A = this chain, B = another copy of it.
Amino acid sequence: MLVSALLTSVGINSGLCVLFFTLYSILRKQPTNYEVYIPRLIAEGSSKRRSHFNLERLIPSPGWVKRAWKLSEEDLLSTSGLDAVVFMRVITFSLRVFLFAGVIGIFVLLPVNCSGDQLHDIDFADLSNNSLDVFTISNLSSGSKRLWAHFSAVYLVTAFVCYLLYYEYKCITGKRIDFFHSTKPQPHQFTILVRSIPVSAGSSVSESVERFFMEYHPSTYLSHMVVHRSSKLQSLIKDAKKLYKRITHLQSEPNQPQYRHVGFFRHRVDLVDHYGKKLEDIEENMRLERSEVSLATQEVRAAFVSFKSRYGAAVAFHMKQSINPTEWVTELAPEPNDVYWPFFSSSFMRRWLSKIVVIVACILLTILFLIPVLVVQGLTNLNQLEIWFPFLKSILTITFVSQVITGYLPSLILQLFLKIVPPIMEFLSSIQGYICHSDIEKSACNKVLWFTIWNIFFATVFSGSVLYQVSIFLDPKHIPAKLASAVPAQFLNVYAPKYETAGKFWPIVHNSMIFSLVLMQAIAIGLFTLKKLPLASTLIFPLPVLTLLFNEYCRKRFLPNFIAYPAEVLIKRDREDRNDPKMAEFYDNLVAAYQDPALLPIQFSANSDSLNSPLISAAQVRH
């Protein structure tokens, strides 16, 4: 690739950046867009819609950037929870790594590489036609003393990243514990999910759960909620909601035609009446289905079991309950909002098999993805392209077009293809048997991560030139950046967090960084061997070992706190609550916290809070 192609790419990206920045700065100030950009503030009533016009509205201003970055962790914690804080820390962490590696790369490695004479001297007069290779390690001759600069860079970056990782892990662990102490009692802290419940003949799942926990946890057991097969009911509710939305839409917009020609004979039908009748039918079906689902025969062999104390729940979670470890399988309950009701397969074997199927599917997807990658590789080779598509020959001779195609288009196409991957991975994770949205997303995130590593690195690098690609990996910040691709402003004003994992995703970031470091070190060993500096490759060998030992230490020192809270913390927290008069009320609510929403009495208004419409029934809709 030539320098000019890189510069074209940089130019296009910078231009787009400025454009989007300007557009956002202006659009966010238009009152009509308030619902898009600051829905949380409106919902909280803390922002008024200013309708009077002023010139300031049309001038892009960067004040929001300042406000977003000045935001303290305490503010973020109180508005958006710990996940948001950890997310921001991941971004800051990535920027720090990027900055450190960038400074070393630009101010040390780049001059060192340029000073080499392996390829040819730089033509400063016609800089843009120099090959990019002049700026890479390829330009250093074999056995050159200057390679030791790269050697030192590997050690420095590793040490810096490990120090940051340790510091962040420690800090986030502390924040997790503090967060746990500061939150109000939460249903999921007192509850575990029990699966694969054995049922003796003639008794229901509910009776079985009651008997087991009364027998083995009599002093801490509070209540339980057996999960029911409600997929049919859920689809009925979905239909009813759709219909209800249509009706409210018709009512709220009186200008719309309220009548329509329907059927073969084109009868004029009152639409509100028509939909209302349909809704009534569905509601009747729902009532029938609900009474059927509530029966013991529709019980799934899984139940949410609540305890009187957090410690009681934790003990039941940590101990194997049954002689047969595939029965009475316990896991920590997710937050009630976080439960993924549609997929509640209870059988141990079925979950296990679906997991294996999903793994196979992921591997297949990763392999099939080589096809677009190879096409993209073809794009960087203009001659190949001219052979494939001869009619493009005349266009491809224009310098700018060829630069866009070789410098910008390949990465754009790859990015577009990569955009399809997360939804697919999320779908795969959702059928893998996870019980909550956060686990599904965490698993999908992991899948995307490994997919990306495989495709971007192994496929691209091994089909292209290894040496050229190395520069990407000497800067290992790109992986956390995948996780951290949002700006703060959104945490504050747009999204209300659906669930809180209290930073449970940090270990994923940590592991990815360790992987990147070891990869960088492995590449460095290969490079120094290629460049005939055996002493350097030998001296780098301890580095991956030390990095992995560091990782192992972190796993022992910090990871357990990300899986479950220790006894010390749980017991302290339980004691704090012991004299709290509000706990009686909390226990009352706890009993029903994990009720399947499909089994709750119907409230069509539940999903239309933002429209501020009153509670409404099908009868009311029809007047």
Q: Do residues A314 and B323 form an inter-chain contact, with CB atoms below 8 A?
A: no
A532-581 contacts to B, CB under 8 A, are 549, 553, 556-561, 564, 566-569, 571
Chain B residues with Cβ below 8 Å from A556 are: 325-326, 348, 352
Q: Which of B323, B569, B571 touches A568 (beta carbons < 8 Å)?
A: B323
A467 sits at the interface (CB 8 A) = no
Select from chain B the residue with minimum beta-carbon distance to A555.
Answer: B325
Using C-beta atoms within 8 Å of the partner chain, give the interface range for chain A: 20 to 34
Docked CA distance A318–B561 (Å) = 14
Which residues of chain A from 363 to 383 have a CB within 8 Å of any chain B CB? none
- Interface set, chain A 289-343, CB cutoff 8 A to B: 314-316, 318-326
Give the residues in chain B near A271, CB-CB below 8 Å.
none
Q: Is A409 positioned at the interface, with any CB of B under 8 Å from its CB?
A: no
With both beta carbons as reference points, the residue of chain B lying nearest to A329 in the complex is identified as B556
CB-based contact A322/B566 at 8 Å = yes
Cβ–Cβ < 8 Å partners of A569 in chain B: 323
A:163-189 near B, CB below 8 Å = 177
Assess whether A216 is interfacial by the CB under 8 Å rule.
yes
A356: Cβ under 8 A from any B Cβ? yes
Cβ contact within 8 Å between A567 and B325: no
CA distance A566 to B314 in the complex (A): 15
Are B318 and A560 neighbours in the complex by a CB distance under 8 Å? no
**Chain B residues whose CB sits within 8 angstroms of the CB of A557 once the complex forms:** 324-326
Alpha-carbon separation in the docked complex, A160 to B356 (Å)? 25
Given contacts A321-B566, A352-B553, 9 further A-B contacts (CB under 8 A): A177-B323, A215-B571, A216-B567, A216-B568, A216-B571, A314-B319, A320-B566, A320-B567, A322-B566
24 A-B contact pairs sorted by A residue (CB < 8 Å): A177-B323, A216-B567, A216-B571, A314-B319, A315-B315, A315-B319, A316-B567, A318-B319, A319-B566, A319-B567, A320-B560, A320-B561, A320-B564, A320-B567, A322-B568, A323-B561, A323-B566, A323-B569, A324-B557, A325-B558, A325-B560, A325-B561, A325-B566, A326-B556
Shortest beta-carbon distance from A227 to chain B in Å: 22
Q: Which residue of B lies closest to A571 (CB)?
A: B216
Choose one: B319, B352, B561, B567; the contact of A321 (CB below 8 Å): B567
Residue of B nearest to A565 (CB): B320
| A351-364 near B? 1/0 per residue, CB < 8 Å | 01000100000000
* Contact digits for A190-225, partner B, Cβ 8 Å, 1 yes 0 no: 000000000000000000000000011000000000
Known: A557-B325, A567-B216. A549 touches B356 (CB 8 A): yes
> A322 contacts which chain B residues (CB < 8 A)?
566, 568
CA distance A323 to B573 in the complex (A): 13
As a 0/1 sequence over residues 22 to 35 of chain A, the CB contacts with chain B under 8 angstroms (1 = contact) are 00000000000000
B568 & A321 in contact (Cβ 8 Å cutoff): yes
Q: How far is the CA of A411 from the CA of B315 in the complex (A)?
A: 54
Instruction: Write the nearest CB–CB distance from A550 to chain B, whole angstroms.
Output: 12
A322 to B557, CA, bound (A): 11
Closest chain B residue, CB of each to CB of A353: B549
Which residues does chain B contribute within 8 Å of A320, judged by CB atoms? 560-561, 564, 566-567
A325 to B356, CA, bound (A): 32
Instruction: Report the bound CA distance from A555 to B59 in whole Å.
Output: 65
Q: Which residues of B contact A356 (CB under 8 A)?
A: 549
Q: What separation, in Å, do the CA atoms of A507 and B559 have in the docked complex?
A: 27
Complex Cα distance A317/B440, Å? 31
| Chain B minimum-CB-distance residue to A553 | B352
